Amino acid sequence: MSTTTTGHLANVLKTHENALLDGWLNGMLSRMVRRDKNAETELRAVASRFLPLVAAAAAKGNSYDIDTPAWSEVRQQLADLSATRVRQGYTPIETATFVFSLKEPVFALLRDSVDDSRELVDETSSVGALFDQLGLYTIEEFTKSREQVIMRQQQELLELSTPVVQLWRDVLALPLIGTLDSARTQVVMENLLQKIIETGASIAIIDITGVPTVDTLVAQHLLKTVAAARLMGADCIISGIRPQIAQTIVHLGVNLEDVITKASLADAFLVALKRVGANVTYSQELA
């Protein structure tokens, strides 16, 4: 199969652009799961821009190799389309159908335009391979865009899952929920240190009530966070030490002797208030 163009595809796209556009859109719309006026209008606009780009690339590049510079604008539009459809919730197949559904109307026009049967077979084969390349490129770009979205969402979830709360003047609380891995520890540390800088707090309570298990790695992450906070001038109290976690820490031989630990956040808060010079008094209502 040759990747050299014969000019038939470019000629068909230019000569029969309106008819091809209508046939292509009808084919795409018949396969669409989600149908609404805005989606159809957007689809027509994208398709109207795409056909002239393909025609220009086929005529200018003299090749159906989409990796050549002549096809750069076509690749860019497909990349933009893929990124947009990731955000809109489309699937990779729905996105690639944008290209694959163009085959049938193009083949029909080629049959009417090319008289020589052998030349028609060669051209149909080459054009089919071209659209296969473009469709696979669309899926590849869709996958890249989706991975970027997932990574960004994971980062946002990390930041949302590590809130630093100011409980009192000079007292911060960092409630942790879920597994504490290396990536999350970095976010935890950055958020805590930033909050210490902003508030000038001298006490930070790290509450691990929501951490399901504590192993050597988790304990090391906690100690790193405590050490970083101390370098910023804030002491740390670790709360939420349940009996099974206490036994695990002892069994692992983790040294927490120089860190204040408490069973609950309330107990840690009382200690923090005393450390900053605040007095807690209890009032009883008259019977």
Digits of tens for pLDDT over the chain (287 positions)?
445 656 788 888 888 888 888 888 888 877 665 556 777 788 889 999 999 999 999 888 678 889 999 999 999 999 999 999 998 888 898 889 899 999 989 998 888 888 888 888 888 898 999 999 999 999 999 999 999 888 877 666 665 567 888 989 899 998 888 777 777 777 888 888 999 999 999 999 999 888 887 778 888 888 888 889 999 999 999 999 888 888 888 887 877 778 888 999 999 999 999 988 887 777 665 44
Does the pTM exceed 0.85? no
Query: Three-state SS string across 55-85, please?
Result: HHHHHHHCCCCCCCHHHHHHHHHHHHHHHHH
Residue pointed to by tokens 């090391």: 220
From 123, 157, 191, the end of a domain falls on: 157
Asked if residue 17 lies in contact with residue 47, where contact means CB atoms within 8 angstroms, the answer is: no
One domain for residues 200 and 218: yes
Angle formed by the axes of helices 117-160 and 92-100, to 10°?
Answer: 150
From 157, 180, 205, the end of a domain falls on: 157
From 104, 137, 157, the end of a domain falls on: 157
**Per the domain annotation, does 200 fall within a domain?**
yes
b/e map 248-257, b = 16+ CB within 10 Å: bbeeeebebe
DSSP three-state, residue 269? helix
Q: Which residues share a beta bridge with 135? A: none
The encoded tokens of residue 84 equal 């947009």
The encoded tokens of residue 29 equal 């719309």
Domain extent at residue 59: 8-157
- Rounded CA gap, 103 and 139, in Å? 17
Pairing of strands 165-168, 171-177: antiparallel
One domain for residues 173 and 212: yes
